[in-house]
């Protein structure tokens, strides 16, 4: 199977490419990535010389770049997106452009070139917050932030291309991913790297917001399964089955690193902050999916990876990173 993976230099995309290269070394893989602040070719240093892997720098909003990259491929897996809620609140325009218009450009390429499968990588955040129980694939989309709204819009566009043009599309919606190579704007890598530098850990509100966490390797295995066995026109939730409050995650990180609790800084809550995410993954499990990583071992491995790879994250936490976070968390000294 010849694959085009968009956004493959990002966190989940790079882990997925590594998963596929190791499992299917005979699959030719093209990685199309714009290399925004969160795209990093260091994420793929270990496989950059592989004979069946090639990197193309390009934007999914660029019709010609997408058309050229998609020529002759059997499937497109779209990881390319603006994904950070805080940035979407401050700068929503780029989210609408990349997440919705970029998806449109990819769908048009699928239609024009007769590509056999298109996977849209989405998020549980499109469902919004839920007080009790779990969202299923049939639950209505009620996004709360410009980020989740842009992803919900892209999902609806994908669904419309299934209904109108009968394109072979599938959507996956995963819960909060964590693991190696995650850009340190997200809670777990931000708090690990800040704690390693004895810097404050900015925790929104009361810290009791609940997220369902999945190790990135398990998500990649689930996407691989859906790519090969999923049904066209369907949505598949990919949950970790591990709900933790943000303060619980913070305390685990501090305990693993032997750092004091006074590094925690409670700050004003984020506008529109969802209280709890939870998704039902029964449909995915009916395909035979099983988690390979327990949460406790996975979070411990993640802490160890960041501790051992300062060369990676210290380059990433650049002056631009610090300027943004000073803007986002004004009361924290960076």
Domain count, the chain: 2
Residue 123 and residue 173 in contact, taking contact as beta carbons nearer than 8 Å: yes
| Residue 20 and residue 93 in one domain | yes
Q: Give the whole-angstrom CA distance, residue 35 versus residue 41.
A: 8
- Which residues are known catalytic residues? 124-125, 147
Contact 47, 23 (CB under 8 A): no
The domain of 254 spans: 187-210+243-275+295-325
Inside any domain, residue 170: yes
For residue 332, the model assigns a pLDDT of: 57
Residues 96 and 146 grouped into a single domain = yes
Measured distance CA(77)–CA(332) in Å, rounded: 38
In this predicted structure, the answer to whether residue 192 has a pLDDT above a threshold of 60 is yes
Q: What is the arithmetic mean of pLDDT over 47-53? A: 95
**pLDDT over threshold 80, residue 331:** no
Q: Give tens-digit pLDDT for 207-257.
A: 999 999 999 999 999 999 999 999 999 999 999 999 999 999 999 999 999
Asked if 100 and 221 sit in the same domain, the reply is: yes
Mean pLDDT across the stretch 285-311?
97
Residue 92 lies in a domain: yes
Residues 306 and 313 sit within 8 Å (Cβ to Cβ): yes
**Are 132 and 255 contained in the same domain?**
no
Q: What is the CATH number of the domain that holds 80?
A: 3.40.50.720
Question: Residue 326 CB: number of other CB atoms within 10 A?
Answer: 13
Q: Are residues 173 and 68 in the same domain?
A: yes
pLDDT at 318 over 60: yes
- Would residue 270 count as lying in a domain? yes
pLDDT of 84 reads 85
Whether residue 251 sits in one domain with residue 120:
no
The answer on 158 and 53 residing in a single domain is yes
Q: What is the CATH number of the domain that holds 319?
A: 3.90.25.10
- Is 101 within the bounds of a domain? yes
Given a contact cutoff of 8 angstroms between Cβ atoms, the answer to whether 302 and 249 are in contact is no
Q: Tell me how far apart the alpha carbons of residues 85 and 146 are, in angstroms, rounded to a whole number.
A: 7
- Of 56, 31, 167, 172, give the one whose Cα is nearest residue 108: 167
Give residue 102's pLDDT: 98
Q: Give the helix, strand, coil percentages of the chain, each rounded to 5.
A: 45, 15, 40
Asked if the structure places residue 280 within a domain, the reply is: no
| 121 domain-assigned | yes
Over range 89-97, report the average pLDDT: 92
Residue 329: predicted pLDDT: 66
Question: Which of helix, strand or coil describes residue 172?
Answer: strand
191 lies in some domain = yes
Pair (92, 200) in one structural domain: no
| 28 & 44 share domain | yes
Q: Are residues 171 and 300 in the same domain?
A: no
333, part of any domain: no
- Whether 6 shows a pLDDT value over 90: the answer reads yes
For 270-320, give the DSSP string: PTT---B--B--HHHHTTT----S-HHHHHHHHHHHHHH-HHHHHHHS-HH
Q: Are 197 and 257 spatial neighbours (Cβ–Cβ below 8 Å)?
A: no
Is the dihedral angle over the CA atoms 83, 88, 90, 91 positive or is it negative?
positive
Q: Are 203 and 140 part of one and the same domain?
A: no
Angstrom distance (rounded) from CA 44 to CA 37: 16
């Amino acid at each position: 199977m010849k694959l085009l993976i968009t956004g493959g230099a990002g966190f989940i995309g790079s882990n997925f490419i590594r998963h596929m290269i190791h499992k299917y070394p005979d699959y030719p893989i093209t990685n199309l990535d714009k290399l925004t602040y969160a795209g990093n070719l260091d994420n793929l240093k270990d496989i950059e010389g592989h004979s069946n892997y090639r990197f193309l720098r390009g934007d999914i909003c660029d019709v010609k770049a997408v058309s050229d990259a998609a020529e002759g491929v059997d499937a497109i897996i779209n990881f390319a997106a603006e994904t950070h809620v805080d940035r979407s609140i401050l700068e929503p325009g780029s989210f609408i452009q990349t997440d919705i218009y970029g998806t449109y450009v990819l769908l048009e390429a699928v239609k024009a070139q007769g590509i056999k499968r298109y996977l849209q990588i989405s998020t549980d955040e499109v469902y919004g917050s839920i007080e009790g129980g779990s969202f299923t694939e049939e639950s209505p989309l009620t996004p709360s932030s410009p980020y989740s709204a842009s992803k919900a819009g892209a999902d609806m566009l994908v669904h419309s291309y299934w209904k109108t043009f009968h394109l072979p599309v599938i959507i996956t919606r995963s819960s909060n991913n964590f693991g190696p190579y995650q850009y340190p704007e997200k809670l777990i890598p931000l708090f690990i790297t800040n704690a390693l530098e004895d810097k404050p850990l900015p925790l929104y509100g009361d810290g009791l917001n609940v997220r369902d966490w999945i190790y990135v390797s398990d998500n990649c295995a689930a996407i691989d399964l859906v790519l090969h066995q999923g049904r066209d026109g369907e949505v598949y939730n990919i949950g970790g089955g591990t709900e933790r409050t943000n303060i619980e995650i913070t305390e685990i990180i501090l305990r693993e690193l032997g750092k004091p609790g006074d590094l925690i800084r409670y700050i004003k809550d984020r506008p529109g902050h969802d209280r709890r995410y939870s998704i039902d993954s029964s449909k995915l499990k009916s395909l035979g999916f099983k988690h390979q990583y327990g949460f406790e071992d996975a979070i411990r491995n993640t802490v160890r990876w960041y501790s051992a790879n300062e060369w990676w994250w210290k380059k990433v936490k650049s002056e631009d990173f610090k300027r943004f976070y000073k803007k986002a968390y004004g009361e924290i000294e960076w």
